[in-house]
């Protein structure tokens, strides 16, 4: 089964910060309707795609549509825009970057300004610029800015999808359009699922797993997975003990993070499938962080859940880096689970 990575390119180029996911949702709705037994959107904006299985067990698969970004906070007298972050953004990664402000008349280009080296001291350059001091230059006169832009308008990072090196991708919003891509491809490819599949493209993960919480409530899941990305810090300056996961070494199967501890039987069974089916994988033992699995496993009386993660360098910056083989490994593992089903806990 070959994944169509042109779909991932399209997905990363859509604008969808938390709470403003409509462009992503509308795109997916159109793409996936032909493959769904039922497709609907809930009141928070989650897109739920249902495919009937051969058993009576329900499987919840979540991938979040939202990306980190900004919102307009204030427009000054000269037309410069000031912002608030939406999700975890490091202002150091935003300086001198291009953005697209989503106005009522469509997106406009903006540039996040930075003081040039010519007028800064070494001490200035050693300091991080706080988010509150960042400003966006739209190139428009102040009165035109006020006509088009309003406080609350969303702002997305602006960067093209590129493939580079060996099997690598660099783009904005790979977190979590890569997971969305895998889930969309699963919906398209799965012919005869064992489980009743609830493929949920969630909203507002980056601001606290808000979409997954209500989505899980609406589905009586027997088992749940979050298909997401995770920070890979396998880079210079970080000791191997702190790498957590490495790019190119396979899908990350979560053991623990800041929100979820995977049931032992579930971790072991996924590991055995990967070994048997020759799917590259690595254990994700993360001291912090979380994803939709954190909301899924606490639903109602509890749902066994696991986060599957694509290792991502420079996560939450506009140059996120992933390996196509890791994405494919996630697809293969989940496809196997969907088609064959899991044995479940053996007396645990
Ligand atoms: Zn994510």
pLDDT, tens digit (0-9, with 9 covering 90-100), for 63-81:
999 999 999 999 999 999 9
Query: Any residues with CB less than 8 A from the CB of 325 and at least 6 apart, and which?
Result: 167, 248, 250, 280
How far, in Å, is the centroid of ligand 1 from the Cα of 79? 33
Query: Would you say residue 155 has pLDDT above 70?
Result: yes
How far, in Å, is the centroid of ligand 1 from the Cα of 307? 11
Q: Band of the pLDDT at 347, cuts 50, 70, 90?
A: low
Per-residue tokens: 166: 């060996």
Instruction: Note the pLDDT tens digit of each residue in 100-124.
Output: 999 999 999 999 988 778 888 888 7
Per-residue model confidence (pLDDT) at position 2: 82
Within the chain, which residue ranges are assigned CATH 3.40.630.10? 5-67+172-340
Per-residue model confidence (pLDDT) at position 348: 60
pLDDT (average), residues 39-54: 97
Instruction: Note the pLDDT tens digit of each residue in 1-14.
Output: 789 999 999 999 99
State the fold for domain 5-67+172-340. Aminopeptidase (3.40.630)
Backbone angles phi, psi at 189, to 5 degrees: -90, -30
Report the phi/psi class of residue 237: left, alpha or beta, with left for phi > 0 and alpha for psi in -120 to 50. Answer: left
State the fold for domain 69-157. Elongation Factor Tu (Ef-tu); domain 3 (2.40.30)
How far, in Å, is the centroid of ligand 1 from the Cα of 293? 11
Per-residue model confidence (pLDDT) at position 123: 81
Bridge partners of 60, per DSSP, are: 198, 224
Q: Band of the pLDDT at 231, cuts 50, 70, 90?
A: very high
Q: What whole-number percentage of the chain has pLDDT above 90?
A: 84
Burial 158-195 (b: 16+ CB within 10 A, else e): bbebeeeeeebbbbbbbbbbbbbbbbbbbbeebeebbb
Indicate the pairing of strand 196-202 with strand 58-64.
parallel
pLDDT (average), residues 129-158: 96
Q: Which of 21, 67, 185, 205 is the catalytic position?
A: 205
Q: Is 205 a catalytic residue?
A: yes
How far, in Å, is the centroid of ligand 1 from the Cα of 178? 9
Within the chain, which residue ranges are assigned CATH 2.40.30.40? 69-157
Query: Would you say residue 168 has pLDDT above 90?
Result: yes
Per-residue model confidence (pLDDT) at position 342: 94
Say if residue 176 is preceded by a cis peptide, omega within 30 of 0. Answer: yes
Helical ranges in the chain per DSSP H: 5-13, 22-32, 122-126, 142-148, 174-189, 210-217, 264-277, 293-296, 324-340
Per-residue model confidence (pLDDT) at position 129: 85
Question: Which letter does DSSP use for residue 132 in this model?
Answer: G
How far, in Å, is the centroid of ligand 1 from the Cα of 174? 8
How far, in Å, is the centroid of ligand 1 from the Cα of 97? 21
Indicate the pairing of strand 162-164 with strand 168-171.
antiparallel
């Amino acid at each position: 089964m070959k994944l169509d990575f042109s779909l991932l390119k399209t997905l990363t180029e859509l604008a969808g910060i938390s709470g403003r996911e409509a462009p992503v949702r509308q795109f997916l709705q159109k793409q996936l309707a032909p493959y769904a037994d039922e497709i609907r959107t809930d009141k928070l904006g989650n897109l739920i795609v249902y495919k009937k299985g051969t058993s009576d067990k329900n499987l919840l698969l979540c991938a979040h549509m939202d990306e980190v970004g900004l919102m307009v906070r204030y427009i000054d007298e000269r037309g410069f825009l000031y912002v608030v972050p939406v999700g975890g953004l490091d202002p150091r990664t935003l300086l001198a970057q291009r953005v697209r402000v989503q106005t009522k008349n469509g997106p406009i280009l903006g540039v996040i300004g930075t003081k040039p080296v010519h007028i800064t001291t070494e001490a200035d350059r050693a300091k991080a610029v706080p988010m509150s001091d960042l400003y966006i230059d739209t190139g428009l006169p102040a009165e035109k800015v006020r006509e088009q832009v309003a406080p609350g308008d969303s702002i997305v990072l602006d960067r093209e999808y590129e493939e580079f090196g060996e099997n690598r991708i660099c783009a904005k919003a790979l977190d979590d359009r890569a997971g969305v891509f895998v889930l969309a491809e699963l919906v398209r490819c799965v012919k005869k699922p064992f489980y009743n599949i609830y493929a949920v493209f969630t909203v507002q993960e980056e601001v606290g797993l808000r979409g997954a919480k209500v989505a899980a409530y609406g589905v009586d899941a027997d088992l749940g997975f979050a298909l997401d990305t995770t920070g890979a810090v396998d880079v210079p300056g970080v000791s191997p003990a702190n790498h957590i996961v490495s790019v190119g070494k396979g899908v990350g199967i979560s053991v623990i993070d800041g929100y979820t501890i995977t049931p032992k039987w579930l971790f072991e069974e996924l590991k055995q499938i990967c070994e048997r089916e020759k799917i590259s994988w690595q254990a994700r033992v993360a001291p912090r962080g979380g994803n939709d699995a954190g909301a899924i496993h606490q639903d109602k009386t509890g749902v066994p859940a696991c986060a599957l993660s694509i290792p991502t360098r420079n996560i939450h910056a506009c140059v996120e880096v992933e390996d196509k083989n890791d994405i494919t490994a996630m697809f293969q593992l989940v496809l196997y689970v969907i088609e064959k089903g899991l044995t479940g806990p053996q007396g645990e």
